[in-house]
Amino acid sequence: LPPGPWGLPLLGYLPWIDPKAPHLTLARLARKFGPIYSLTLGRVCAIVLTDPRTIRRLLAKDATSGRAPLYVTHGIMHGYGLICAEGALWRDQRKFVHNWLRSAGGTKLGGRRKLMELLILQHAQELVQHIDAALKRHAVDPMEALRHHLGSLVNQLVFGRRYQRDDPTWIWLQELQEEGCKLIGVAGPLNFLPLLRFLPTYKRTMSFLVEGQRKSHQYYQKLAKEVEPLVPLDRNQSLDALPSLLEEFLREKRLKSGTEDGHRFYSDRQMDHLLADIFGASLDTTLTTLRWFLLFLGVNQDVQRELRLEIEAVVGKRAPSLEDLAAMPFLEACIAETQRIRSVVPLGVPHGALEDLEVDGYRIPKGSLILLLQWAIHMDEAQHRDPERFNPRRFLDAEGRFCKGEFFMPFQTGKRMCVGDELAKEIMFLFTASLFQSFRVQVVGEPELEGVCGITLSPQPYQVVFQSLA
């Protein structure tokens, strides 16, 4: 096994992992034991990797395409959906989601990209209008506005629905999502010591998650019943300009009904988990990235000025377009620097070894948890000088072109790499360009720049003042 720290019987190294900042504990161990080390968490053998070259080699293998044996995620997802699925179900559903994203314009190639651009822009412009009408010139936490408008976009994409700001169902879905993200931490002890579920705190956590899941699945079934009779069977037609994931799933289910694949991969249960996975994976990550973006740009006024100059020169007063991206390396660099300095998934999304493996002369036993420690990669001083300094210029080459280098992997790599990376880039580009084209963002006071670690690393609440540039 790779070298690593000793642990206690039954608990392993768990007692020494900082529950509020597990990424910092694990990064400290990487500095001591090197770019590949092992430790036991409960009964699970965890292999932690921080060298992108080794990670790329390892994640290219089929045998690392499993998911980690985590009690909370497995106990809730039961291997359904996409994020926790494995084997034939994972392969089918990954292809299905990829095809849906292509037909909805959420990939680089594909004829509907322009329609997706329009949809994202519509939501970004609504956010701008809302800030302009209700929030500007006051000190406000941008969280609620960002969550509502990004959430509306994600609702449209996943369910084909829009909700008013004060719709009780929408408020409930947001609360569920936010609380769930806080509770499902990768390094939480319950993941490794399932017996903890009998203690009151963990019992409450599990019943909140299980109950929330039951009610939200009930709600998805109700939506599906309404939509199902309307779904056209022709794959070239859709209920709206772009097909929602719900519509696409129901169409596929009908087209495959009576077949072995239909039975195995297009059940009601699979639909519920898949909808929840894509809703959560899209909203929490992009929302958190945008919150960090506003915070760091608000703190670094010199960077914000430079960004404004680029937006004025390339976009001017018209609406931004995805075609502008190639001419806006500074904005691309600001987004990348935000993703580097505060990895939204600092521990990465862990993989599981499906068989015994060997890497760099070390053994990785079947069933191990493989942790790709994004935090250590993105904050590696040898690769990113002065890593705590927000400096987008590190992503520009001598000619001012955007270049990201290999020590940057916010979407991970390999066979399970984020399937929504291109959609995420489209969203982040159009939302940030629209916001900073319209407002100067000033942070109030001296905000805390350390994050709070749940399933994602989010900023602590902060306030900004939006000043109109019109």
**Would you say 328 or 344 has its CB closer to ligand HEM?**
344
How many alpha carbons lie under 13 Å from residue 410 in its C-beta half-sphere? 22
Buried b (16+ CB within 10 A) or exposed e, 161-177: bebeeeeeebeebbebb
User: How far apart (Å, rounded) are the C-alpha atoms in residues 47 and 45?
Assistant: 7
Report if residue 418 touches ligand HEM, rule: CB under 6 A.
yes
Report if residue 82 touches ligand HEM, rule: CB under 6 A.
yes
Cβ neighbours for 165, distance < 8 A, ≥ 6 positions apart:
148
User: How far apart (Å, rounded) are the C-alpha atoms in residues 309 and 397?
Assistant: 19
Cβ neighbours for 351, distance < 8 A, ≥ 6 positions apart:
59, 64, 65, 66, 67, 68, 369, 370, 372, 416
Size of residue set near ligand HEM by CB under 6 A: 24
User: How far apart (Å, rounded) are the C-alpha atoms in residues 153 and 157?
Assistant: 6
**Would you say 35 or 348 has its CB closer to ligand HEM?**
348
Shortest reach from residue 412's CB to ligand HEM, in Å: 3
**Would you say 13 or 293 has its CB closer to ligand HEM?**
293
The secondary element (H helix, E strand) that includes residue 144 is helix 143-159
**Would you say 170 or 292 has its CB closer to ligand HEM?**
292
Phi, psi of 423 (to 5 degrees): -60, -45
Please list every residue from 275 through 304 that binds ligand HEM, using CB under 6 A: 277-278, 281-282, 285-286, 289
Stretch that binds ligand HEM, among 33-41, 168-176, 303-311, 412-420 (CB under 6 A): 412-420
Question: For residue 329, which amino acid is it?
Answer: P
Shortest reach from residue 466's CB to ligand HEM, in Å: 22
- Member of 420, 451, 454, 459 binding ligand HEM (CB under 6 A): 420
Shortest reach from residue 313's CB to ligand HEM, in Å: 26
**Would you say 46 or 196 has its CB closer to ligand HEM?**
46
Residue 52: how many CB atoms within 10 A of its CB? 19
**Would you say 304 or 432 has its CB closer to ligand HEM?**
432
The closest of 156, 436, 457 to 278, measured between CA atoms, is: 156
The closest of 140, 115, 118, 119 to 439, measured between CA atoms, is: 140
**Would you say 375 or 466 has its CB closer to ligand HEM?**
375
Shortest reach from residue 197's CB to ligand HEM, in Å: 25
Stretch that binds ligand HEM, among 40-48, 383-391, 396-404, 413-421 (CB under 6 A): 413-421
Report if residue 423 touches ligand HEM, rule: CB under 6 A.
yes
The closest of 188, 211, 239, 246 to 44, measured between CA atoms, is: 188
- 131 DSSP 8-state letter: I
The site string for ligand HEM over 344-383 (x = CB under 6 A, - otherwise) reads xx--xx----------------------------------
**Would you say 196 or 376 has its CB closer to ligand HEM?**
376
Report if residue 156 touches ligand HEM, rule: CB under 6 A.
no
Report if residue 89 touches ligand HEM, rule: CB under 6 A.
no
Q: Which tokens in the block code for residue 4?
A: 């690593």
CA 411, 414, 416, 422 torsion: positive or negative? positive
Total residues found in the chain within this entry: 470
Shortest reach from residue 85's CB to ligand HEM, in Å: 7
Shortest reach from residue 430's CB to ligand HEM, in Å: 13
Q: Can you give the binding site for ligand HEM, defined by CB under 6 A?
A: 82-83, 94, 277-278, 281-282, 285-286, 289, 344-345, 348-349, 410-412, 416-420, 423-424
